[in-house]
Structures are given as structure tokens and as C-alpha cells.
Amino acid sequence: MKYMLMLQGSQAEYEAMGADTSSGAPVWTEEDLRAMVQFMQKLNEDLAASGELVDGQGLTEPSKAGFVTAGEDGRPVLSDEKYGVDQQVLAGYWLLECESFERATEIAARVHQCPGPQGASNPPVIVRPVAEGPPAG
């Protein structure tokens, strides 16, 4: 069965990773970033070797997102509204093929161990089964 593991992050946390101190979030050093990247690379290598990794990506900061709505005529309009700048939003994900929900949660627990600077937020890793077909109606 497929499972999606989702990480959340905020604009302030992305800025702190870029050494911006104005957000109030703990600033990431080069060593912190290197440790995170090494951790994620090893995790991805292990998941690929086990055959469980289908896909995984990190996403850009919320301020770079486009927010598309429907205009009065129903046509898509790129809004000036900012997406998720002041809240936790999807920051990255893994799509996995696992034998069970328990296995997916084991991997999520490992993801949650990712290193970061002292005092940085460590939101939960969300685990969701992927629907295998259309909803029953």
C-alpha cells in the first residue's frame, strides 16, 4: 500500500535556514544544514534500497508559491494573496510503498529524528494512506 509522509514548515523557518534572523526562528548554521542534508540523503538511499521509496521532494518556501483562484468569469487568476506565509504548510513529502501503516509510521519516526539547530520547531510527520481507487459511493 502507498503512504504519503508529509513535513510541515513555515516561511519563518525557511528564512532561518537562509540565516535570516528577523523571523525570530533559530538560525541554521552551515553545519546544521549539512547535517540535515546528510540525514535526508541517507534516509532516501535506505528507502530506495529497501524498494519503499516511490518519490520524495522538498518544496520551496511558501512566499514563492502561486495562489490561483477562479475569476468572475471562471478563468484562473493568479492572486496577490500570499500562501501560508504565517502558518505551517507542506514543506516536503515522501511517497512510499510499505507493507503496513506501522512500517510507514516507523519511517516517520525516523524522519522526525532529523537534526536541526537548538530550539528549532520539530512539527509532527503526517502519515496518510493513499487511496487506491475512487471513493466508494
For residue 47, pLDDT over 80 is answered with yes
pTM assigned to the model = 0.86
- More confident position, 21 or 120: 120
Query: What per-residue confidence (pLDDT) applies to 40?
Result: 96
List the 2-9 sheet strands across, edge first.
53-58, 89-97, 2-9, 126-129
Please, which pLDDT band fits residue 86 given cuts at 50, 70 and 90? Answer: confident
> How far from 96 is each of 26, 34, 121, CA to CA, in Å?
31, 25, 25
Please, which pLDDT band fits residue 3 given cuts at 50, 70 and 90? Answer: very high
Burial class of residue 89 (count of CB atoms within 10 Å of its CB; 0-12, 13-18, 19+): middle
Q: Which structural domains are found in the chain, ordered by start?
A: 2-129 (3.30.70.1060)
